Structure 1
Amino acid sequence: MTLKPLIPLLLAAAVPAAFAQGDREAVHTFQVDLDAQGRVTSIDPVDAIPDATRAALQAHIANWRFEPRDGATQATRTYLRVATAGESSATSTPRIISASTGPAMTHLTQPVYPTSELRRGEGGVVVLEIAVGADGRVHDVGFHGDRQQATRSMAQAARDAALAWQFTPEQVDGQPVASTVVVPVCFMAVNPDPYSCTWQGPEARNLSRYAVVNLDPVVRVDIPSQQIAGF
């Protein structure tokens, strides 16, 4: 069995049991700008997205409510991260697994899979709490929660890799701001089952492997529950 560590940008979230086995999973990032009154002025994809998928997602996003932190009366910019399963076609649209706001992930390096665990075929989940500076660089990496579902070697490998990651920070009044994000790193088989790598986030919420949580986003998003497929 071939194993490798997985970080959220590279593999999609655990999918609902109702999802088809062959569903394509992906993460799409949008830049969202709000004016000083908290009104959305633009929602633009950061990376290339197929036209049909982009149109379908933007139609959903147009109905979501974005709220500046603490009722800020300054222009803000955030990055909306949307995990999906399935593809757009004449008869269907991608199903939304999760969506969150925060800094955009721009450069991620894979952790090195510890040799002993790789030889044994052992997997695990490391949940990192990462301090991202206003410069987009990682300033500190800790572990989120009291217990990690991984060996000490996996935890160290995940932390070492995260120290080199880079982000595009959120902005308030045109100035980049620091943030703290919680990110799962999964050491697992290449073909995981639908519930592989779930983890417990803030407020004891069970989250999928594609979920990234910003502990203090400059803009929060409120999404109708019926539009989220969950996992």
Structure 2
Amino acid sequence: MIGAVLLLACAQAVHAAERREQTYQVGADVDATGHVIATQIEPDVPPSIAGVLTSALRQWQFVSARRNGQAVSAHTFISARLLALPNASGQYSLHVIYAGNGPKFHRAGWKARYPRDAVQRRQAAFVFIDATVQPDGRLADITVDSQFAEWPVARSFRDAALKAARSWHFTPEQVDGQPVATQVRVPMNFTLRDQILTPEQIRILREAASREAAVANAEADQLGIPLPSEQEIALDSPLQPHAVATIISAP
């Protein structure tokens, strides 16, 4: 649905004054100078959106990957946030915003099974999984911890997240044509419609939401958007962003 809205925004004026956004993960070949020279976009992305993404990514630059002290080509997967913002004339301008890069996470069936005891107690949890994406795409060194230091995570949530992570698969990044290991962090939220939260947990969530909103508002003025709450983060990608300013396409 969002893709259709963004596609419409590319083509013509729209009447609903609402922002629309979606994040796309795009394969990118980066040469030894750090420039994006080719992109691979999923076939189900509308051609007009694919064109906007390709044009934007080719304007971005990364710190060159290195092997044995020499700058070399590399391959990564860039998360690009496409934001459609309404203007006074009722049309949309499109903003392509860098949201990170790293290995490609194949998310089909990635969520953990909710622990039965937590369902009975109507408990919620917010965790993150740290792991190393190996060159074959499997994970190693998997650990689970709470997103909030003041909110201990029950063992059943840790076990559920760990079990899910053991089945995950990534497409690794490449340096000089060879797959490499990358450390990643994947946030995961366990929530129920009828969950019971303590006053302390409500305080923690409200303060976190306020901080995120403050950052979002500050970055919105500079056309930057924080990462989605459950988007993976590469902690040590061989390609680090150098010049990834937001690209704006006016109607």
TM-score (norm 1): 0.69
What corresponds to 1:118 in structure 2? 119
Structure 2 equivalent of residue 77 of structure 1: 75
Report the counterpart of residue 17 of structure 1 in structure 2.
Answer: none
User: Quick one: distance in 2 between partners of 1:223 and 1:195?
Assistant: 29
Tell me: CA distance 1:93–1:224, structure 2 relative to 1, closer, same or farther (3 Å): same
SS in 2 for 1:110: coil
Alignment match of 1:31 (pick from 27, 30, 50): 27
1:28 partner SS: strand
The alignment's TM-score, normalised by the length of structure 2, stands at: 0.64
In the aligned structure 1, how far is the partner of 2:43 from the partner of 2:142?
27
> Contact (CA 8 Å) 2:34, 2:61: kept in 1 or not?
no
**Structure 2 counterpart of 1:62:** 58
Establish whether residue 167 from structure 1 lines up as the match of residue 198 from structure 2.
Answer: no
Match of residue 213, structure 1, among 233, 236, 245: 233
Mapping of 1:125-136 within 5 angstroms?
125-136=126-137
Write the deviation string for residues 1-32 of structure 1: whole angstroms up to 9, x where unpaired.
Answer: xxxxxxxxxxxxxxxxxxx9x86654311111
Alignment of 1:1-231 (within 5 A): 26-46=22-42, 48-69=44-65, 72-84=70-82, 91-93=91-93, 99-108=99-108, 109-143=110-144, 147=149, 149=151, 150-189=153-192, 195=209, 208-222=228-242
Residue in structure 1 matched with residue 10 of structure 2 by the alignment: none
Q: 1:153 to 1:86 in 2, by over 3 A?
A: farther
> Distance in 1 between the 2:168 and 2:45 partners?
23
Identity score, percent: 28
Return the offset for 1:116: 2.5
Change (3 A) 1:68 1:189: farther
Rounded Cα–Cα distance in structure 1 between residues aligned with 2:244 and 2:81:
15
The answer to whether the 8 A contact 2:97-2:245 is kept is no
Alpha-carbon distance in structure 2 between the residues aligned to 1:85 and 1:33: 24
Cα 1:47–1:37 shift into 2, 3 Å: same
Q: CA deviation at 1:130?
A: 1.1
Name stretches of at least 5 consecutive residues in structure 2 with no aligned partner: 1-15, 194-205, 213-225
1:130 and 1:96, CA in 2 relative to 1: closer, same or farther beyond 3 A?
farther
Cα distance in 2 between the residues matched to 1:39 and 1:82: 16
Structure 1 111/83 Cα, relative in aligned 2: closer, same or farther at 3 Å? farther
- In the alignment, which residue of structure 1 is the partner of 2:200? none
Q: Give me the whole-angstrom Cα distance separating, in 2, the residues matched to 1:27 and 1:224.
A: 16
Q: CA separation in 1, counterparts of 2:82 and 2:122? A: 28
Cα separation, 1, equivalents of 2:189 and 2:96: 21
TM-superposed CA distance for 1:76, in Å, is: 0.6
Q: Does the 8 A contact of 1:130 with 1:141 survive in 2?
A: yes
Provide closer, same or farther for how the CA distance between residues 85 and 120 of structure 1 changes in structure 2, counting only shifts above 3 A.
farther
Residue aligned with 1:73, SS: strand
What whole-Å deviation, never above 9, does each CA across 1:85-131 have from its counterpart, x for those lacking one?
5599x922555676111110125532010123223433221111011
Size of the aligned set, in residue pairs, is: 199
Q: Secondary structure at the match of 2:32?
A: coil
For residue 213 of structure 1, report the CA deviation from its aligned partner. Answer: 1.6
Distance 1:116 1:86 in 2: 42
Task: Give the unaligned 5+ runs of structure 1.
Answer: 1-19, 199-205
Does the C-alpha gap of structure 1 residues 137 and 42 become closer, same or farther in structure 2, counting only changes over 3 Å? same
Aligned position for 2:223: none
Helix, strand or coil for the counterpart of 1:58?
helix
**Preserved contact between residue 53 and residue 87 of structure 1 (Cα < 8 Å):** no
Higher RCO (CA < 8 A, seq sep 6+): 1
Choose 1 or 2 for highest CA Rg.
2
